[in-house]
Structure 1
Amino acid sequence: MKFTDGLWRRPTGVQFQGGVEVVEVLQHDTRGIEALVAIRHVASRGDTLNGSLITLNVSSPMDDVIKVRIEHHQGGRERGPHFELFPDGEPPAPKTSAAKGGDSLSFTSGALKVDLNTAPFSYGLTFSDASSGSDNFLCAVQPKGSAVVDVPAHLTLGMQSQNGCLTTLPDTMVRTDHFGVDGTLNRGLVRFMLNETTLSIGENIYGLGERFGPFIKNGQVVGIWNQDGGTSSEQTYKNIPFFLSSKGYGMFVNHTEEVEFEVGREKCSKVGVSVRGERLEYFIIGGGSMKAALQNYVRMTGRPALPPAWTYGLYLSTSFTTSYDQKTVSGFLAGMRERNCPVRVLHLDCFWMKRYDWCSFDFDPDTFPDPERYIADVKKEYGVKVCVWINPYISQRASIFKEGAEKGYFLKRKNGDVWQWDEWQAGNAIVDFTNPAAHKWYAGLVTKLLDMGVDTVKTDFGERIPHQDVVYFDGSDPAKAHNFYSFMYNKCVFEAVEAKYGKNEAALFARSATAGGQRFPVHWGGDCESTFEAMGETLRGGLSLAASGFAFWSHDIGGFEGHPPPEIFCRWVAFGLFSSHSRLHGSNSYRVPWNYGDEATAITAKMVRAKCRLMPYIYAQSILAHEIGTPVMRAMVIEFPEDPACAFLDKQYMFGDSLLVAPVFHASEATFYIPAGKWTCFWTGEIIEGPRYVSKKDYPLDSIPVYVRPNSVLLLGPEDVELPDYEYGKAGLEVRTYELEEEVEVKVPTGKGAAWAGSVKVAPGGKITASEVKVRA
């Protein structure tokens, strides 16, 4: 949200009061700092009249994390929902200290320190990190950087609609008959709390959820507001109020409602954060590096569950608007098997239900007359798991609509009616997950599917959630519930799957998310077109999502909309199989590889087998992601922050600690960057020494640049393996070493949960010195 008109002026009607001076310190000890900040210099008693105070509260929930809360009026009721912090258990009490020196008060948590400037005219906060032994400046809040701002509602509407965020304000956010910050009575004002932190020269900002535009967020305004807009605009399905800085820290804004970030846009040297209301709460998260800050953020909002090993295999979808029945679906599976393209998960998209009936949870009797028998047969015949599509919208024609309406399971309007519209399906109602009975009811519907033999669920939608004329069962603020709805929805379904199959067998295929949603994997990138440009958008979205704490990610191979030409399908297949999770899915055309030619079929078979062979490595990386929060797929800058070239790389990524993957966005030419060291081609053994850019013309369509990091060990499954879930410790593993410098011990996962089968000790040259599992060199 922009509150200025250039450097000196403000838009007409905007009333701005920023903190300039600490006038009283209420607390300063190892628990934190509490202080009152005035919006003008207080030279006499008269200066205390007719002015606002901002209450500043600084504390720490865990080492290397500092919480800042700024408040204006404190008498308001804080309506939920709120993010679930530390769902994996409270962390140990932080090691904190407090000190005073001259006009400065300091508070330290772990290696992260904040200094409060108490000199006249000089309110400010300075954050620094001492992980490296000396204070490293991170960012600062300067005078007037914490502020209360009143804005005429018509100005907020204009700006919001341009930025793709709220186009209409919820009733609770428009303050009519409201006293502005200058003490006068105003009508139609919207109150904001604003915080601005410095943006240093050369500092880059990443993350803020799944974003399909430029990977570096500098120069952008980002509104945290979930929308269903495809991958070709500023709208996105997964908005996360968290960013990573190249200076090695993160900021998490603890607000479920819309948060707006002005990243070097309104003010070139500031990151502005604004929310509506009377308070703003954020965390500065340190740790000494981007990777450590990301791990600390995930520790706060929840570590990802570990997906079962079978989910890493190829998903084959029936696609969206295509016609399919039992015969068609079985034909796809038979065709894939005949062509040596093993499918691990069969996904039935929307039309497993009758048209207009979404989401009734009833199989269409015309196409699936005996669904339970069919599911059992297809699983037995083809060895697949079964996934079905659902969403949280219940159409008026659905068999369960009447029950939901009568029992109060849907969102309501203020007059007591069920909240309905004709978006997506005619007469859609929306499940109210704040109602415990509705939550249990919906989970029961999911459980019935699981009892029929369904193994996992695609939780589509969850973004088109109204915020006007809406009443939640528990009194939640509709504006705060809009993004958070995705969390409630996916949590309900994930826990139903977990209750049925156990902790080690639960997984979703989800589209919408907010902070904490990483706990319920897997997520996919949404509706993209079938172009190289959309393939690039998709990867940028995935890398931004990973920089926001999401460890497991997938996308629609070949693109969702349209029919990809063979070269795009082939390039996307390679990219898709070198992602943590892999799905063939389209809109109005099937994504079976033979529709794109014999070469596409051969490439699909090759890439599926390569991924299955790599599963001991991939699954070990997944366990680490589950335990400490580092994403399996991650941007180069997170792994190589000291390499200036990596700051801008958004067309390649690290796949775990050891593999560099560079999807090819061209029919024949590949371009990528190799960091310092001797990197080995996974396919050919060719060694390229970096740092350098590499451009290869006539790059083969049946390959993808995959390079192994120096000083790495890869454990590979058998060459003939066709499935991702096998006993990795008993599979006759092949041990490969790459420029190994010293003896290392590599853990071998079992492939069942987070347990380890044993370990392998390997010396330079590939010599195996000791082993707890059966291996072959």
Structure 2
Amino acid sequence: MKQTNYYLFDWMDFDESLSKDESLWKAYTSTEVKAVDGDIHITVPYQKQVLQEDMLADTDVPQRDYILILRAYGDSIVRMFTSMVDDEMKDTGSYMLELDKALTHKPLSVEFADNVYTIKDNDGRTRARIDITPYNTEWWSDLQPGPQPTIHLTVYPDGNLAKGVELSDDHFSPPRYDALPIGFCLTEGKPDRATVSFKCEADECFVGTGERFRKMDLSGQTFYLKNQDGQGVNNRRAYKNIPFYMSSRMYGVFYHTSDYCRLSLADHSSRSVQFRNDRATIDTFIIGGETPERILFHYRQLTGFPPMLPIWSFGIWMSRMTYFSADEVDEICDRLRAEHYPCDVIHLDTGWFRTDWLCEWKFNPERFPNPERFLKRLSDNGYKVSLWQLPYVANGAEQIEETKANKYISTPTGGWENAAGTSGASNFSTLDYAGTIDFTSEKATEWYKGLLKNLLDMGVKCIKTDFGENIHMDATYESMTPEQLNNIYSLLYQKAAYEVTKDVTGDGIVWARAAWAGCQRYPLHWGGDSESSWAGLAGSLKGGLHFGLSGFAFWSHDVPGFHSEPDFMNSVIDPKVYMRWTQFGVFSSHMRYHGSHKREPWYYPTIAEDIKKWWRLRYRLLPYIIEESRIATESGWPMIQALLMHHPEDKTVWHIDDEYYFGRKFLVCPVMNGNDRRDIYLPEGEWVNFFTGEHFEGGKWYRNVEVPLDEMPVFCRPGTEIKVYDEKVDSTDDIDWQKVKTLFIE
């Protein structure tokens, strides 16, 4: 983006030479407001603007009217919908929506008095207002033209008149706009972009938007919501973009779309939150609630609740990129048991195929000669097996001709005879991936499920649904354009794998990297290719916190980071990073070791025994973790909770991204530097160090606290009860749940 003085270029991406056939249309004052079948229909005229740098109404062109619809869901959600391309507002038929049965429509009615339309629900609560009162002006100069008409609409999603969400008509002077309340563009006579803006306060903070590797307060930033390979956890790219944000004023907004879109959180203008959709439809759910947890609960009522995961998944997962044979896996698993490192899952990454990275969904017959016996032996020893794969078919795969002939994969736009090869599906392989599995096709989806069923029938328990944030774009799919499919692809992909896994094994689970709105229904997700460094550790936590503030309950990360630095595959990991990341992993919803270098603890002999102590603590805390996880599936709580979830009135915590609650009872302060020191903020009240029993006064900072490598600052409130399992085990199979005890924090 080239920054100019003109809204046309800075936000709407017009051609700066003004030589293209495109025009901008601005929403004017509504001309009719009426109730229709319990919804409110608002007639909004749009005025074409002259194709020039400064905004100016082109009065030679007739206005165009479009209907803006308001619909109330329950007591806390108002939907605002308009389309310039004849899209229909529906409650069903969207991959993203899975409306809670308890979330019923609340009929709306409208009253008009004193130039104000007041929109109320059937309980008499005000849910929106439209003010058509003329501007209050006193003539002083005609140096600038007067402002263009606009729509003054304020939504009160939960009926709280103190926190209305108001459309923004934001400008420096009438010709110099920073935000439009609603607007759209015509390109070559066809609508192709639309925008909506809301006013924001000077001190307002924003969180969410997906797995965002940024500071806690996202105010002053703009995000292009397009899923792509994040290439680590320290940049603006993201595997998991979620078109949802939450405000410190206690409301949230969900933009219901899978199109490429842009979200500015008080960035292009500090007075406005702006959203731009690359399709000329605006479908916005404005969500109220008294607390962040209630706002997230209502968001899940729209897009679905995460289901509970199998108990074994909360144990430790061991992996690396990659194990290459049954003998290698057996040796590692046997040693884990012999040395009593508790572990539940062994994950096989890219090396279980005939050729590394060549995904054919079949075990290598030489290196895994009897996969059923191999899986049975591991199962008998208390291990569940997870397998890596991806949603692309390579030209060298045995299924390639079948997938082409049956259109199970995307078809190149110019046909197969003119197809150019692509290796863009992987950063680590030179394989030519011919196409993306077409999950918009029922036939292709069932074919894919059949591939996974063969593996699950053998005894595999989980499929790693890697990649999915990128698809072949110069291609056709059965029922969507590539641009519409790209963001939503991860949901269709994970849904297929989740469903067949649950059908065959009884346990609903995947291990997924990409995500969009609704993917929380198909857990679980991990944080991608983090660097094995302090920066990678800090970036991972930032991503996890924002992901939890975007509707997801379960999230994990690669312990101790995925790749080395500076030599991506070969640099040896700092044992201190391994130790500190392990501590973070213990207090995460799921805990998996993985990466490009050796990950087994015995390769780090100076800390191996301490690592075992932390692993045992993980298993000791499993009753608490599982109890909190069940609560998370029925509420708005994630397992990793930003401090603002508990203390939204404390302005300090809206800027803290290196502490978190694990469940509702542990306040965790991971050390993310090599100095063995950190600043600790404790919110108001009394706190107890979970490990030492020392008491601390809250509402203050503790600066430069020394934390020895084998320790970690974790706090609870006095009087807290924590369910624990005190006996040593090798896996969750060994736990006798009748022996769970309650630990009382004094």
Classify the TM-score, shorter chain: 0.7 to 0.9
The corresponding residue for 2:633 is: 626
Match of 1:461 among 457, 464, 467: 467
How far apart are 1:253 and its partner, in Å?
0.4
Aligned counterpart, 1:232 = 234
- Partners of 2:603 and 2:574 lie apart in 1 by 10
RMSD across aligned C-alpha pairs, in angstroms?
2.8
The whole-number CA distance in structure 2 between the counterparts of 1:507 and 1:568 is: 29
The 5-angstrom pairing of residues 295-694 of structure 1 reads: 295-317=297-319, 319-320=320-321, 322=322, 324-355=324-355, 358-380=358-380, 382-417=381-416, 421-423=422-424, 424=426, 425-467=431-473, 469-474=474-479, 476-502=480-506, 505-562=507-564, 563-587=572-596, 589-599=597-607, 601-667=608-674, 668-694=676-702
- Deviation at residue 565 of structure 1 after TM alignment: 0.3
Q: Give the secondary structure class of the aligned counterpart of 2:710.
A: coil
- Give yes or no for contact 2:81–2:89 (8 Å, CA) kept in 1: no
Across the two proteins, how many residue pairs are aligned to each other? 688
Which amino acid is the alignment partner of residue 362 of structure 1? K
CA distance in 2, matches of 1:20, 1:240: 30
What do the CA deviations read for 1:216-240 (whole angstroms, capped 9, x no partner)? 2111110111111322211111110
Are residues 687 and 725 of structure 1, via their aligned partners in 2, closer, same or farther at CA, if it must alter by over 3 Å? farther
For structure 2, the residue ranges without an aligned partner over 5 or more in a row are 11-15, 50-57, 135-148, 170-178, 565-571
- For 2:97 and 2:3, locate their aligned partners in 1 and report how far apart those are by CA, in whole Å: 31
Q: Partner residue of 1:5? A: 5
The 3 A distance-change label for structure 1 pair 674 and 723 is farther
1:267 corresponds to 2:269:
yes
Structure 1 residue 272: Cα displacement: 0.8
Give the structure-1-normalised TM-score: 0.83
Q: Which residue of 1 aligns with 2:174?
A: none
Distance 1:101 1:737 in 2: 59
In structure 2, C-alpha distance between the alignment counterparts of 1:51 and 1:523, rounded to whole Å? 47
Identity of aligned residues (%): 29
Whole-Å separation in 1 of the counterparts to 2:606 and 2:289? 50
Q: Residues 75 and 96 from structure 1, CA distance in 2 versus in 1: closer, same or farther, beyond 3 angstroms?
A: closer
Q: Identify if the C-alpha distance between structure 1 residues 696 and 266 changes in structure 2 by more than 3 Å, giving closer, same or farther.
A: closer
> Residue 112 of structure 1: CA displacement?
7.1
Note closer, same or farther for the CA distance 1:4–1:264 as it changes in structure 2 (3 Å cut).
farther
Decide whether the 8 Å contact of 2:75 with 2:158 is kept in 1.
no
Q: Distance in 2 between matches of 1:27 and 1:89?
A: 24
Q: 1:250-288: per-residue Cα shift (whole Å, max 9, x none)?
A: 100011111100111111211110012322111101122
Task: Work out whether residues 527 and 561 of structure 1, in 8 Å CA contact, stay in contact via their aligned partners in 2.
Answer: yes
Q: Which residue of 2 aligns with 1:191?
A: 192
Shift of 1:729: 5.0
SS in 2 for 1:21: coil
Question: 1:103 Cα deviation (Å)?
Answer: 1.7
Distance, in Å, in 1 between the alignment partners of 2:639 and 2:541 is: 14
The answer on 1:66 being equivalent to 2:78 is: yes
The CA deviation at 1:535 is 0.5
CA contact (8 A) 1:566 1:597 kept: no
Range moving further from structure 2, 26-35 or 711-720 = 26-35
Secondary structure of 1:240's partner?
A: strand
> Displacement of 1:477 after TM fit?
2.3
Q: Call closer, same or farther: CA 1:9–1:267 in 2, change over 3 Å.
A: same
Given the superposition, is the C-alpha separation of residues 76 and 84 from structure 1 closer, same or farther in structure 2, using an over 3 Å criterion?
A: closer
Distance 1:12 1:106, change over 3 A: farther
| C-alpha contact 1:26 1:36 (8 A) present in aligned 2 | no
Opposite residue 127 of structure 1, the aligned amino acid is V
Post-superposition offset of 1:572: 0.3
Deviation, 1:644, is: 1.4
Against the structure 1 CA distance between its residues 254 and 2, is the aligned structure 2 distance closer, same or farther, given a 3 Å change threshold?
farther
8 Å contact 1:29–1:97 — kept in the other structure? no
| Amino acid in the other structure paired with 1:579 | S
Taking structure 1 as reference, are residues 15 and 21 closer, same or farther at Cα in structure 2, changes over 3 Å only? same
User: How far apart are residue 620 of structure 1 and its match?
Assistant: 1.2
SS at 1:521's partner residue?
coil
Q: Hey, what's the Cα distance between the residues in 2 that align with 1:480 and 1:124?
A: 31
More off after superposition, 266-275 vs 398-407: 398-407
Contact 1:112 1:286 in 2 (8 A): no
Q: What is the alpha-carbon distance in structure 2 between the residues aligned to residue 687 and residue 510 of structure 1? A: 40
Provide the secondary structure at the position in 2 that maps to 1:100: strand
User: CA 1:526–1:357 in structure 2 vs 1: closer, same or farther (change >3 Å)?
Assistant: closer
Aligned CA distance change for structure 1 residues 729 and 719 (closer, same or farther; 3 Å): closer
SS at match of 2:634: helix
Select the residue among 127, 150, 156 that pairs with 1:128: 156
**Gapped runs of 5+ residues in structure 1?**
152-174, 181-189, 739-777
The alpha-carbon distance between structure 1 residues 722 and 223, as it changes in their structure 2 partners (threshold 3 A), is: same
Equivalent residues of 2:158, 2:287 under 8 A apart: no
- CA distances 1:442-482 after superposition (whole Å, capped 9, x unpaired): 00110100111101111100112133x321112x1221100
Q: Is the 8 A contact 1:65 1:112 kept in 2?
A: no
